[in-house]
Structure 1
Amino acid sequence: MPLLRKLGLVGAVSLAGVATYVLGIQQNWYGQPWQAGEITAPPASKHEAVAERAVAQAEAISAVGAEGDKQILFGDLHVHTSLSLDAYLSALPLMQGEGVHPPADACDFARYCSSLDFWSINDHAESITPDRWMETKDTIRQCNAVAGDPENPDVVAYLGWEWTQMGLTPENHYGHKNVVLLDTEEDKVPTRPIAAMGTALTTIQNAESGAKKFLLPALDPKNRQIYYDFERFIQDGKTELCPQGVDVRDLPNDCIEYTETPAELFAKLKQWDFPTMVIPHGNAVGHHNPQGASWMNQLTSGNHDPEMQSMIEVYSGHGNSEEYRKFLAYAEDEEGNPYCPEPTDNYKPMCWRAGEIIEARCLKEGESAQECNDRAVITRQYAIEAGHLNFAVVGRSELEEWLDAGECTDCFQAVANLRPDTTVQAALAVRNFKAGPGESERFKFAIMAASDNHTGRAGTGFKEIGRHNAADISGPKAEWLSRIMNGMPNEPLTQPVAIDGHNTEANTRFTERTRNFVYTGGLIATHSPSRDRKAIWDAMKRKEVYGTSGPRILLWFDLLDDEGNKPMGSELEMAEMPRFRVRAVGSFKQKPGCPDYAVTGLTSERLENLCYGECYNPGDERHKIERIEVVKITPQITPDEKLGDLIEDTWKVFECDDQGQGCAVEFEDADFAEASRDSLYYVRAIQEPTPTINGGNLRCEYDENGQCIKVNPCYINERTDYADDCLAPSEHRAWSSPIFVDYAQEQGSEG
């Protein structure tokens, strides 16, 4: 055969091979289907460790003088695996991810690494197809099946999902909610989870083949199989949506069910009529909530169900959503037009800082002071109209330019861009004065905390080790790749750029900044008479729960009553002065490594890959409780009462002399009867400062006036060493659920 013909044949074969390869990528031939993983049954030593913990807790209860036959159990009711699309994306190697973590990983982590008493799976319903829901149910059942005696299991696993809603305006925004189910049997759980209509669902449903199919394997060819599998996961998630207006039991089994409002979600859950809890979370996080959002639209139109929705998540890996502040990030004039409010003490709105950046650039270019001031005014208006994309009005702004604008600088482990009107304190203070049938007058939330972890790691807050593993820190390591994946930035501009705040496709490269407000996450604690799933569930329904920022602090909060003390979460009416008692014991200091049952139960490779070589491993010494803080809130009695005037934080403070025995205090409200208005009280037990991942947030440098003049953020990319945990001292804490004391008019006092 002539040489040219041979070369031509080789070229044709090569071209055909390339074409076949390209077609294979296009048709997802190379992607492997999703696998739920395998669960590892615990050794007998795990049950022995659980029994030893109960003994140690009993000793602490005795030392602090607490009474009763209930034990405190710790759990995490907000856990994502790679079944959630955002979690899968973070697992990719180009995002410095470790690979997928299926539901079985969450069970093993809760059992061996964090040694929780209970947990729930809460993947985003938007990416849970019927097949994936079946796999999730099977995994939760297996996790419980190997837990030992159902009345005394080593860990209880609950089934659930997340309803993920983000409205573009305050009127249509309701936020994220976790749905948790009591039972796991096939005939006692919904046939399908219920998603929220919105960006997440439409993104999955409208996913089309594109350049990313070829780009990701090309950028990281050695890990190309992972990207093929990811693309297969996306395409397999495109399932037909269920028809609307049909009873849940009459819907097809092979569709994705959705609702647009909490009222519709509650209605569907009532049709199923299974024991269910709905837990709102992340409500004060700026990039999750539009400017101007508040709790009021959830007290109307049936958007709150106090029977199902009785708890709220105060803290998670996204930070602390508790604290109300009077500062304004957004304001409206008398005609309802938005404008940028001026800075106040300790707070500068992002829109204001945007104007300062443009003004400084303008002056540097040599323009007149008046011209640059005019540009600053325009910039601030553009920024306020851009909503949570306000940073994008400043062309190619770097993280450091924004200093600490938009942040709560005196909040404990703050969320990024705090929205005060959607904090937990705001929810407890607001009242609906036009409540009609099917509407609620007030929220009477119990307080809990969780991790919101996205790598299947339930309860990661046991040690402040492994910033990227434990605190959901992910993103491109190379700065050049970060800029490509987020859109090549514009050159620094001296003129503002008008941005449509409703454009969800706009550049979102501000992620680097928000990652400085990510933490290892919190826990929910219950006062339960036993370890079985129904006892734990009943404790949560009684609101006998509290939250911690991660450490397993022991906390009791009671109203003292001659007829029997009322625990945290209680609701009562009285006219006389209420008296209270608080008891708190610090968490155990941790030893390095893992306990014997984890080393025995897991292979060394899995212990390293799943637990990153560290586990909950308590020593004999406890951290000290430094003080007890009391918060008092008197809910509105007129619509014009400002929330900041009703929230007394901090109402009382008690310093503790904790020498290892814990702290106990009593107090009363001598003004309650004279004020004659409903009140609620909750407490914080503050533990001694300990090194904490991102405890310093942006790590500001301050001038003599206390103003931030420079930031030293921790980066996702190589600008910060991967091994740097960005530790700073922080006072970890436990938040009790409130005791709600409504004022009761004394009989015979009228007339």
Structure 2
Amino acid sequence: MIDRQNEKKATPVTFAQRGLAMLTIFYCVSFSPALAAAEPQQPLWGDTHLHTALSGDAVAYGLLRSPADAYNIATGKRVTTPEGQIIQLTRPLDFLVIADHAEGYGLVKAIIDGNQKLLKDPVIRRWAGMLEAGKNALVGQEMIQAQSTGNLPDVIKDGQDITRGLWLDMLKTADAYNQPGEFTAMIGFEWSAAPQGNNLHRVVVYRDGGDLAATRLPLDTAVSGMNPEKLWAWMADYEKETGGKILAIPHNANLSNGQMFQMVDGDGSPLSASYASLRARWEPLVEVTQIKGDGEAHPLLSRNDEFADFETWDIGNLIGSREKSSDMLPGEYAREALKNGLIVQQQSGSNPFKFGMIGSTDSHTSVTASEENNFWGKFATTEPHPGRWVKHRKPLQKDGWQYSASGLAAVWARDNNRASIFDAMQRREVYATTGPRITLRLFAGWSFDSSDLTDPDIASLGYSKGIPMGGDLTAAPAGQSLSLMMTASKDPQSGNLDRLQVVKGWVDTDNQTFEKIYNVAWSGLRELTAEGTLPPVGNTVDVADASWTNSIGEPQLSVVWTDPDFDSNQHAFYYVRALEIPTPRWTAYDAKRFGESMNNEVPMTIQERAYSSPIWYTP
């Protein structure tokens, strides 16, 4: 407001002074053009799937670290374990979603703290005794089994008073750590449906702050049942009642025994247009890589893809109740789901599997460390110590060395705040990495050419001439082919880049799906074979020393690629896979640190990678 009373007392300003002020204002506004840019200029790095001691299975396995501990770790602070080990990330995150299980939210901690209401139940009392006796792992297994079969004690199902208090405390903590522009504490929880152990879990992420999230408790499968459509209805009600926004991210389809991406709905009916549009509306992303394996592709589904067998976890489901069979695989892997989505799109006009791809950890340690040389394991029992790599020797269970130090979510957001990050997720302008901070950009259009790569502002050019990852192209101009402009830069703390590949999937008029891998940019003087493959990049890893050299590979790869097989009448999708040169796996670092000799079956090297979100073409 202008102070008219003191207006006459203001110091006079000469014309020259006014001109200088105007000049100064002009330069302040225009000197930093990136501040006014509409498009995001750099990726934000985060984890959308981290558990704390509010998750029953985490605390049952010995975790006592709180949400505050998780935020402190994510923002780069040091935390000391009871054993005296120092936990610290090499680089802080830009954002974090703490996604504790809605089922029994915080109640195991309440059991340990001696909550009398819970201890009236005989099963709870038995678990309390087992926890006191140090049988945490057994309690965790029993809890997962009870949750998956719907047999949690009634006192847990009815424990809303306890859950409400813990949820409100969590929201206050998230809001306290949320510092827009520096670090974003996004609010979330995990809806943990697992009928008979078949994983249908979703992480639910809010755009909102604690004020709106507090209006409802996290949805528990004891209330909703196991059908994801019930979750979507709950999400719709939340948005209608609060005016807020919310989305869901499925994960670990590889443990669903074919149910995550099956071609029928929850009632067993073929996928309809309404189902397809609902699923695409509420689930714009899929977590495609994490601790429990990689879910981009499977070697039996993509037999011509030499890199499809990567950190593959394809034994059984969450509780090992049924061995995996090959007929389940098409409903478990992202690439196959993307292809099947084209069939539904062609038949109904809507695509249920139109998702972007991210990575996250699913760590149950409050530690969001996804680097091979700083891997803190899945549970407190698998934090760094000698022997954590060994076999479990149980049917349908993975061995310790088969866990992956993965992954990260990269988000092309305009600002580091809840709204901007959420909006980027919703429009699918995101990508996944298996841990390294590879910078990856992808644009599609009809008029890109190689000279565009010399533009000093490739991003602005990409937005002006095309669309970014996660977007749609339609109705190709007559006689033109789709072109992709892509650029990738190595993580400064990781390996050089081996190659960039385009993964294309399409469907013909007979509803038959196809895929093809194109090597489009690569390091060194290698040449493509007649089949389009490349010789391996090489390997500089010294396993005994857990080290490597960047004497092979390239720090950056860029290319404009035009689809040589483009058919303007076919539904198709495209995404980019960026591969690093081989580097030491976490098992090699453990072997060196603890002086261990591991079995020959244990991999000691890894080719880390990034997966862009797809771009879709619709005739």
Specify the TM-score bucket, using the shorter chain as the normaliser.
0.5 to 0.7
Partner of 1:86: 57
Match of 1:540 among 422, 425, 445: 425
Partner of 1:302: 275
Whether the 8 Å contact between 2:520 and 2:561 is mirrored in structure 1 is no
Whether the 8 Å contact between 1:568 and 1:736 is mirrored in structure 2 is yes
Partner of 1:681: 574
**Are residues 1:268 and 2:234 paired?**
yes
- Of structures 1 and 2, the one with the larger relative CO (CA 8 A, separation 6+) is 1
Q: Alpha carbons of 1:623 and 1:272: their partners in 2 closer, same or farther (altered >3 Å)? A: same
Whether the 8 Å contact between 2:356 and 2:431 is mirrored in structure 1 is yes
**Are residues 1:116 and 2:90 paired?**
no
Partner of 1:557: 442
**Are residues 1:319 and 2:293 paired?**
yes
Whether the 8 Å contact between 1:471 and 1:521 is mirrored in structure 2 is no
Match of 2:370 among 438, 449, 461: 461
Partner of 2:585: 692
Distance 1:165 1:636 in 2: 35
**Are residues 1:627 and 2:499 paired?**
yes
Q: Alpha carbons of 1:127 and 1:470: their partners in 2 closer, same or farther (altered >3 Å)? A: closer
SS at match of 1:430: helix
Q: Alpha carbons of 1:693 and 1:297: their partners in 2 closer, same or farther (altered >3 Å)? A: farther
Partner of 1:282: 252
Partner of 1:422: 332
Partner of 2:166: 135
Match of 1:669 among 553, 558, 563: 563
Whether the 8 Å contact between 2:343 and 2:507 is mirrored in structure 1 is no
Alignment-mate amino acid for residue 107 of structure 1: Y
Partner deviation per Cα, 1:709-749 (whole Å, 9 max, x = no partner): xxxx99xxx99789xxx771111111100011112xxxxxx
Distance 1:719 1:420 in 2: 41
Alignment-mate amino acid for residue 543 of structure 1: R
Q: Which aligned segments of 4 or more residues in structure 1 are displaced greater than 6 angstroms?
A: 432-439, 469-472, 474-479, 718-722
Distance 1:684 1:436 in 2: 26
SS at match of 2:409: strand
**Are residues 1:447 and 2:357 paired?**
yes
Whether the 8 Å contact between 2:338 and 2:354 is mirrored in structure 1 is yes
Distance 2:259 2:426 in 1: 32
The 5-angstrom pairing of residues 15-34 of structure 1 reads none
The 5-angstrom pairing of residues 570-581 of structure 1 reads 570-575=471-476, 576-581=480-485
Q: Alpha carbons of 1:436 and 1:189: their partners in 2 closer, same or farther (altered >3 Å)? A: farther
Whether the 8 Å contact between 2:585 and 2:603 is mirrored in structure 1 is yes
Match of 2:470 among 569, 574, 599: 569
Shift of 1:552: 0.7
Distance 2:58 2:214 in 1: 25
Partner of 2:65: 101
Whether the 8 Å contact between 1:315 and 1:450 is mirrored in structure 2 is yes
Partner of 1:529: 414
Shift of 1:560: 3.5
Distance 1:478 1:624 in 2: 31
Q: Alpha carbons of 1:104 and 1:511: their partners in 2 closer, same or farther (altered >3 Å)? A: farther
Matched pairs, number: 445
Distance 2:301 2:363 in 1: 30
Whether the 8 Å contact between 2:190 and 2:204 is mirrored in structure 1 is yes
Distance 2:99 2:176 in 1: 20
5+ residue gaps, structure 2, are: 1-33, 77-87, 106-158, 266-270, 303-308, 448-463, 525-551
Whether the 8 Å contact between 2:279 and 2:352 is mirrored in structure 1 is no
Shift of 1:691: 0.7
Shift of 1:326: 3.5
Whether the 8 Å contact between 1:167 and 1:290 is mirrored in structure 2 is no
Partner deviation per Cα, 1:515-569 (whole Å, 9 max, x = no partner): 3321122111111222122111111112110010011110001114456221111
Partner of 1:733: 609
Distance 1:262 1:125 in 2: 14
Partner of 1:647: 515
Which stretch shifts more, 684-693 or 470-479?
470-479
- Kindly report the root-mean-square deviation, in angstroms, between the aligned alpha carbons of the 2 structures: 4.3
Whether the 8 Å contact between 1:471 and 1:519 is mirrored in structure 2 is no
SS at match of 1:125: coil
Alignment-mate amino acid for residue 211 of structure 2: E
Alignment-mate amino acid for residue 135 of structure 1: L
**Are residues 1:585 and 2:549 paired?**
no
Partner deviation per Cα, 1:85-142 (whole Å, 9 max, x = no partner): 2211222xxxxxxx41221121111111331000101111111154345434434443
Partner of 1:259: 225
Partner deviation per Cα, 1:15-39 (whole Å, 9 max, x = no partner): xxxxxxxxxxxxxxxxxxxxxxxxx
Distance 1:472 1:583 in 2: 40
- TM-score normalised according to structure 2 size: 0.63
Alignment-mate amino acid for residue 266 of structure 1: W
Distance 1:437 1:184 in 2: 40
Shift of 1:512: 5.5
5+ residue gaps, structure 1, are: 1-60, 62-66, 92-98, 198-256, 329-345, 352-382, 392-405, 409-416, 484-507, 590-621, 697-712, 744-751
Alignment-mate amino acid for residue 465 of structure 1: N
Q: Alpha carbons of 1:324 and 1:133: their partners in 2 closer, same or farther (altered >3 Å)? A: farther
The 5-angstrom pairing of residues 386-405 of structure 1 reads 388-389=320-321
Whether the 8 Å contact between 2:407 and 2:432 is mirrored in structure 1 is yes
SS at match of 1:540: helix
Whether the 8 Å contact between 2:174 and 2:187 is mirrored in structure 1 is no
SS at match of 2:275: coil
Distance 1:740 1:733 in 2: 22
Distance 1:737 1:514 in 2: 31
Partner deviation per Cα, 1:595-654 (whole Å, 9 max, x = no partner): xxxxxxxxxxxxxxxxxxxxxxxxxxx631111011001146545x3x5xx122x23342
Whether the 8 Å contact between 2:204 and 2:249 is mirrored in structure 1 is yes
Partner deviation per Cα, 1:358-380 (whole Å, 9 max, x = no partner): xxxxxxxxxxxxxxxxxxxxxxx
Whether the 8 Å contact between 2:358 and 2:431 is mirrored in structure 1 is yes
Distance 2:563 2:287 in 1: 27
Distance 1:536 1:138 in 2: 23
Match of 1:185 among 196, 199, 210: 210
Distance 1:179 1:692 in 2: 31
Whether the 8 Å contact between 1:90 and 1:474 is mirrored in structure 2 is no
Partner of 1:52: none
**Are residues 1:72 and 2:72 paired?**
no
Shift of 1:446: 0.6
Q: Alpha carbons of 1:306 and 1:441: their partners in 2 closer, same or farther (altered >3 Å)? A: closer
Whether the 8 Å contact between 1:453 and 1:471 is mirrored in structure 2 is no
